[in-house]
Amino acid sequence: MRILVVEDEVQLAEAVARGLRREGMAVDIAHDGDDGYSKAALTRYDVVVLDRDLPGISGDEICRRLTDEGVLTRVIMLTASGTVEDKVSGLALGADDYLAKPFAFAELVARVRALGRRTTPAAPPVLSAGGIELDSGRRTVTRGGELIDLTRKEFGVLETLLTAQGAVVSSEELLDRVWDENADPFTTTVRVTMMTLRRKLGEPAIIDTVVGSGYRIDPGLREDRDLDLAPATGRGAE
């Protein structure tokens, strides 16, 4: 999940970003409204965590512009005031959710995840293919019942490929969905992560490379696919 945090309180922005990254999300930060609007307009974020009182373009104006431009990104608005009137006015601008400061970080995470599920078609809580099971809620991956220890980036890559349901996912899209704006698109980051992920997942391999396009996982893949290649003979052919 790709998140943008627009917050002029630097320490708060950094703390929120660190916490969301620990939850496996790719997070970018903007400390003023102008930078926040530019990033939100150019990058396909799942959720924007938007402070209402910002230097430059206000949070209200950012929210209004994104709504008018038809941007599909979900917006959770942060404010120092939690009055009903402020909440109503924020939602009227096009915000999808509203959270008053100070807030419990666990609540912010829950709200961000809920909004993220509304950005894309709902995926089942457990994704599977080829004997692999990925539980997004528990952040676990198993194969044949054995737990596999993945880094946050490896988990994100696998989750993105499984969620694609057989569609090819390019390296550029993986960078966009799993990494943040600091990732260098000209590095071998995705290829190296894919190598370690394949090694950890073991055999038979479930991630196919589509030359010149990207990577895919067949959602109908079975763990024993390599055992079904030989033609039927003898009694089994009757």
Give the tens place of pLDDT for each residue, 103-117. Answer: 899 999 999 988 887
| Final residue of a structural domain among 63, 90, 119 | 119
| Final residue of a structural domain among 101, 119, 137 | 119
33, 56 Cβ separation under 8 angstroms: yes
36, 57 Cβ separation under 8 angstroms: yes
* 109 and 165 both lie in a single domain: no
In CATH, what number is assigned to the domain containing residue 9? Answer: 3.40.50.2300
Lowest average pLDDT, out of 10-19, 160-169, 200-209, 219-228, goes to 219-228
pTM for this model (two decimals)? 0.61
* 114 and 147 both lie in a single domain: no
Residue 237 lies in a domain: no
192, 150 Cβ separation under 8 angstroms: no
d(CA 132, CA 27): 27
Q: What is the mean pLDDT of residues 138-152?
A: 89
At residue 84, the pLDDT reads: 66
Strand order in the sheet with 2-6: 26-30, 2-6, 47-51, 74-79, 97-100
Residue 230 lies in a domain: no
Lowest average pLDDT, out of 6-10, 96-100, 230-234, goes to 230-234
Average pLDDT across the chain, whole number: 82
d(CA 81, CA 83): 6
* 172 and 136 both lie in a single domain: yes
* Tokens 């970018």, residue located: 28
- The whole domain housing 83 covers 2-119
At residue 22, the pLDDT reads: 85
Residue 119: band (very low, low, confident or very high) from pLDDT cuts 50, 70, 90:
low
Name, of 26-40, 64-78, 164-178, the range with top average pLDDT: 26-40
d(CA 16, CA 53): 17
117, 137 Cβ separation under 8 angstroms: no
Q: Counting every residue, how long is the chain?
A: 238
The residue that leads in pLDDT, 75 or 237, is 75
161, 152 Cβ separation under 8 angstroms: no
Residue 189 lies in a domain: yes
Tally the domains of the chain: 2
Residue 182 lies in a domain: yes
Q: What is the mean pLDDT of residues 63-87?
A: 81
Residue 237: band (very low, low, confident or very high) from pLDDT cuts 50, 70, 90:
very low
* Tokens 């993105």, residue located: 160
3-state secondary structure of 86: helix
